Amino acid sequence: MTKQFFIDIRNRLLSNTQLKFVQLWNNQMQDLAGKENNSYSFPLPACFIEFVAPSEILQLGAGVQMFDPLTVRLHIVHELLNNIDDTNGTLEQDLSILDLKQSVYFTMQNFEPNNAVMFVRGSESNSYNHNNVIEFIQDYKTNLIDNSHSDATLSIPSGAPITLVPTFTKVTSL
């Protein structure tokens, strides 16, 4: 991945005013669960960006490579409020995560960063292994052209145009 690709995605997610924190995924949920006395925390709702690269990177030529397909996985994290749902009086029915994950979908679906194709949501799921937070995961399919190491020496040099003068040879019969 390129740094700029991450920055483009992060900036797009930060345009969603419901998100308070957007960073690169580094298994923050495990760290959050493993720390006592809330020594590890971040503002919620948050979104973490993970890149699930293909098993092979395609070589296109002249040092240009392509990640195809590329999955961008978003970990959407929301604090679970232990409130009572007004519609049926059920405990632990904080459904705002569903609104939040839809707002992330509206932000990211059809997003087309530089050197990539349009994002298309491919799947979504819940992660249930956390206390006091809900994690919702969305996968977006795209690809990425990495031209950061293109070999300029392999390109055709630019310069003055070459004038071609055609010559003709008369063919006589045998």
Domain contains 172:
no
Query: What is the share, in percent, of the chain residues with pLDDT greater than 70?
Result: 78
Residue 77 lies in a domain: yes
Phi, psi of 100, deg, nearest 5: -65, -45
pLDDT digits (tens, 9 = 90+) for 60-109: 988 899 999 999 999 999 987 665 555 665 555 677 889 999 999 999 99
Q: What is the pLDDT of residue 106?
A: 97
Calpha distance 16→143 (Å, rounded)? 23
Domain count, the chain: 1
**What is the pLDDT, as a whole number, of residue 143?**
93
Asked if the structure places residue 158 within a domain, the reply is: no
How far is 97 from 103, CA to CA, in rounded Å?
Answer: 10
DSSP notation for 146-159: E-TT--GGGSPPP-
Of the candidates 154, 146, 159, the one whose C-alpha atom is nearest the C-alpha of residue 1 is: 146
> Does residue 174 belong to any structural domain of this protein?
no
**CA triple 34-40-44, angle to 5 deg:** 110
Mean pLDDT over the full length of the chain: 84
CA distances to 12, 70, 119, 140, 144 from 112, rounded to whole Å, are 10, 13, 6, 11, 10
The CATH number that applies at residue 48 is: 3.30.2000.30
Q: What are the pLDDT digits (tens) for 117-133?
A: 999 999 999 887 767 78
Tell me what pLDDT residue 43 has: 92
Cα–Cα distance measured from residue 151 to residue 142, given in angstroms and rounded to the nearest whole number: 25
Within the chain, what is the greatest distance between any pair of CA atoms? 104
Residue 161, domain member (yes or no): no
pLDDT at 139 over 60: yes
Q: What is the pTM of this model?
A: 0.78
* pLDDT category of residue 153 using cuts at 50, 70 and 90: very low
**Residue 168 is assigned to a structural domain of this protein:** no
Which residues form the domain of 7?
3-150
Tell whether 17 is covered by a domain: yes
Q: Does 38 score more than 60 pLDDT?
A: no
The torsion angles phi and psi of 18, rounded to 5 degrees, stand at -75, -20
**What would the mean pLDDT of 28-50 be, rounded to a whole number?**
77
Q: What does the radius of gyration of the chain's CA atoms come to, in whole angstroms?
A: 25
| Residue 162 in domain | no
**Is pLDDT at 34 greater than 90 in this prediction?**
no
Could you tell me which residue, 35 or 79, shows the higher pLDDT?
79
